[in-house]
């Protein structure tokens, strides 16, 4: 991995991948659509301008990357626009893969998905061989992932798919649905019964795992990303309560559905124990196996 293209460097996960790659010594090109990532431009970093749907991939024919990190998603604001975004993502990703296949030496593509593809499974673990049954936002966005699933095993395609679990960091669901309510109402919200399992990974570890997949995998494989043992949401909220001194307040699924809609309600209450069959994941040296430490660091970052 020497010549890298990163698609989606302005996003939550993509930005951290870009930050880590920027100090790794690789040649790094960032495809920028609207907002420029907050990464100091230095030797070895080049900004390319364009979107996933419109960028002329053939412009890279004379100097193609050997590795592509794909952390971009065409998004929508409601159910209808999300389905349309999924369709546009399907077309855009097929176009990218057709170009990659046309090269003499196709790049290794690492595509970032999510664990919502497995659905809500209660206390039944899901490894990379689990059946896909997408829920919440992933119902709409799954079409964009299908080109990678269909073509990952074909000759001349080097594709790895990573599926992070709950990723917490400075700009995530944790900030929007927990920290903001804590600041506003002085309570730690627990959504639903609290019995649902949450598999977690902090943003720094998630990005490091994605980079290791690019370094160690030859493609054609799915990787679930998580750290440590899962916890029930009630335990998660209890941990936040101990760290902040704020009491837990239970908000019902009905309240959540009425305020935010079905997709958000499902995303915040689904139950999934994420596992992996890959030593790359199970033996990963995490910076924070103790999520109370990682959550404390994240809470402190909100106050900075």
273, 125 Cβ separation under 8 angstroms = yes
Q: Per CATH, which fold does 169-198+230-273+285-303 belong to?
A: UDP-galactose 4-epimerase; domain 1 (3.90.25)
Q: Which candidate, 106, 137, 101, places its Cα nearest to that of 119?
A: 137
Q: Which CATH architecture has domain 3-167+200-225?
A: 3-Layer(aba) Sandwich (3.40)
Which backbone phi and psi does 105 adopt, to 5 degrees? Answer: -125, 95
At 8, the pLDDT band (50, 70, 90 cuts) reads very high
Alpha helices in 152-290 (DSSP H): 173-174, 180-185, 203-216, 233-244, 253-260, 262-269, 279-282
pLDDT at 77 over 90: no
pLDDT at 299 over 70: yes
CA distance 12 to 29: 18
Candidate from 13-27, 41-55, 245-259 with smallest mean pLDDT: 41-55
Q: What is the pLDDT of residues 235-249, one digit of tens each?
A: 999 999 999 999 999
Chain center to CA of 292: 21
CA distance 280 to 50: 33
Which backbone phi and psi does 258 adopt, to 5 degrees? Answer: -65, -35
- What pLDDT score does 128 carry? 97
pTM: 0.95
Candidate from 92-106, 130-144, 281-295 with smallest mean pLDDT: 281-295
- What pLDDT score does 73 carry? 92
Q: When comparing pLDDT for 191 and 49, which is higher?
A: 191
Q: Hey, what are 106's tokens?
A: 């196709």
Q: Which candidate, 99, 104, 102, places its Cα nearest to that of 70?
A: 99
- What pLDDT score does 41 carry? 55
The residues near 125 (Cβ < 8 Å, ≥ 6 apart) are 273, 274, 275
Residue that has been written with the tokens 């903001």 in this structure: 180
CA distance 234 to 212: 32
Residue that has been written with the tokens 């790094």 in this structure: 28
Residue that has been written with the tokens 């170009």 in this structure: 99
At 218, the pLDDT band (50, 70, 90 cuts) reads confident
Q: When comparing pLDDT for 229 and 303, which is higher?
A: 229
Query: How does DSSP assign 219-254, residue by residue?
Result: SSEEEEE--S--EEHHHHHHHHHHHH-PPEEEE-HH
Q: Which candidate, 190, 194, 195, places its Cα nearest to that of 123?
A: 195
Q: How far apart are the first and last CA of the chain?
A: 35
pLDDT at 164 over 90: yes
Q: Hey, what are 186's tokens?
A: 């002085």
Spell out where 63-199 has E strands. Answer: 67-70, 108-112, 125-126, 158-164, 166-168, 188-191, 197-198
Which backbone phi and psi does 238 adopt, to 5 degrees? Answer: -65, -40
Domains of the chain by residue range: 3-167+200-225, 169-198+230-273+285-303
Q: DSSP 3-state assignment of 133?
A: coil
Q: Hey, what are 194's tokens?
A: 């609290």
Candidate from 12-16, 95-99, 196-200, 287-291 with smallest mean pLDDT: 287-291
């Amino acid at each position: 991995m020497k010549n890298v293209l990163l698609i989606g460097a302005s996003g939550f996960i993509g930005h951290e991948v870009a930050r880590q790659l920027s100090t790794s010594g690789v040649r790094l090109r960032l495809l920028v659509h609207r907002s420029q990532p907050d990464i100091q431009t230095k030797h070895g970093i080049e900004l390319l301008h364009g979107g996933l749907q419109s960028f002329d991939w053939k412009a890279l024919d004379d100097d193609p990357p050997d590795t592509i990190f794909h952390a971009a998603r065409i998004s929508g604001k409601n159910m209808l626009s999300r389905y349309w975004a999924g369709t546009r993502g399907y077309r855009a990703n097929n176009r990218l893969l057709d170009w990659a296949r046309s090269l003499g030496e196709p790049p290794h593509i690492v595509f970032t998905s999510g664990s919502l593809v497995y659905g809500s499974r209660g206390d039944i673990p899901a490894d990379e061989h689990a059946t896909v049954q997408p829920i919440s936002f992933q119902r709409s966005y799954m079409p964009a992932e299908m080109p990678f699933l269909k073509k990952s095993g074909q000759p001349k395609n080097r594709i790895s798919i990573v599926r992070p679990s709950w990723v917490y960091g400075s700009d995530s669901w944790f900030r929007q649905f927990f920290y903001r309510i804590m600041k506003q109402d002085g309570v730690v919200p627990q959504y639903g019964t609290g019995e649902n399992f949450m598999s977690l990974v902090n943003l720094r570890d998630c990005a490091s795992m994605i980079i290791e997949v690019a370094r160690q995998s030859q493609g054609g494989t799915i990787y679930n990303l998580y750290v440590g043992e899962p916890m029930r949401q009630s335990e998660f909220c209890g941990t936040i309560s101990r760290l902040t001194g704020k009491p837990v307040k239970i908000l019902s699924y009905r309240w959540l559905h009425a305020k935010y809609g079905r997709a958000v309600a499902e995303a915040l209450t689904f139950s999934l124990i994420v596992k992996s069959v890959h030593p790359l994941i199970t033996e990963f040296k995490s910076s924070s196996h103790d999520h109370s430490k990682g959550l404390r660091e994240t809470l402190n970052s909100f106050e900075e």
